[in-house]
Amino acid sequence: MADTPRLYFRQILAGMDIAEDDPVAQQMVNFVYLIGDRETGEAVVIDPAYDPQAMLDILEADGMRLTGALATHYHADHVGGSLGGMAQITGIAELLELVQVPIHVQATEAEWINKGTGVPIDHLASHSSGDTVMVGEIPITLIHTPGHTPGSQCFLVDGKKLVSGDTLFLNGCGRTDLPGSDPEEMYRSLTQRLAQVPDDAVLYPGHLYSEKPSASMAETRQRNVVFRPDSLEQWMMMFS
């Protein structure tokens, strides 16, 4: 699938492209995504952790303006907050101090994001699976993919790019041994809920856990070990 001329899409690596001197960002290797409509200048940011000001600076340099943010899930390395008591990560709370924009979250995740970041629930725009967030004329379809967390969600951008957070990586998937995780739901998310994503869409994960920063869904489904089990029983034997 070729990009449309108006689709603005940037994959930014925390610890390298932004927050260059932050050792936590360097260790966690999170991706942040900027997505927008070049014709209208509107843009959103996905998982704005570590350095919100730098994200706004990139948008301004590109002639874009921030109109919203989306969260894949509530973990601090994606939306800010305390990282297991080891570090405090800036995120959506600090972003809202710089610019007032809606924060789009999966409804199940709103309470967790509120607790982790301190952002009031009434500042969060809660969504159901299948909802669409429009950025100018660019559609972003929200796909609820529980497993890593109860409210994890992926974003299908313009039908061409899947921003998957910690649900799916090029190699492997998100952990299912954390509070709120569910290995059975992860299996269903990978094999059923993401089945709507076409093979020629490109996967953009939440972390740089592989040599490449992206790959087609066809390649991912062929190479990624998480797609090898033929049943839930096999999945649970291998990954639970």
Each residue's pLDDT tens digit in the chain (240 positions)?
A: 456 789 999 999 999 999 999 999 999 999 999 999 999 999 999 999 999 999 999 999 999 999 999 999 999 999 999 998 778 999 999 999 999 999 999 999 999 999 999 999 999 999 999 999 999 999 999 999 999 999 999 999 999 999 999 999 999 999 999 999 999 999 999 999 999 999 999 999 999 999 999 999 999 999 999 999 999 999 999 887
The answer to whether residue 54 is domain-embedded is: yes
Q: How many domains does the chain have?
A: 1
pTM here? 0.96
The answer to whether residue 68 is domain-embedded is: yes
In this structure, what CATH number is given to the domain that contains residue 140?
A: 3.60.15.10
Q: What is the model's pLDDT at position 186?
A: 97
**Amino acid residing at 128:** S
The answer to whether residue 35 is domain-embedded is: yes
Q: Which residues contact 138 (CB under 8 A, 6 or more apart)?
A: 6, 7, 35, 36, 37, 157, 158
The answer to whether residue 57 is domain-embedded is: yes
* Per-residue exposure over 20-47, b if at least 16 CB sit within 10 Å of its own CB, e if not: eebebbeebebbbbbbbbbebebbbbbb
Q: What do you get for the CA distance between the two ends of the chain, in Å?
A: 35
Residue 170's nearest CA partner among 85, 227, 89, 105 is 227
The answer to whether residue 48 is domain-embedded is: yes
Q: What is the model's pLDDT at position 217?
A: 98
The answer to whether residue 96 is domain-embedded is: yes
Q: Report the Cα 213 to chain-centroid distance in Å.
A: 14
For 112, the domain range is 7-239
The answer to whether residue 1 is domain-embedded is: no
The answer to whether residue 52 is domain-embedded is: yes
Q: 225 φ, ψ to 5°?
A: -65, -20
Exposed, middle or buried by CB within 10 Å (0-12, 13-18, 19+), for 190?
A: buried
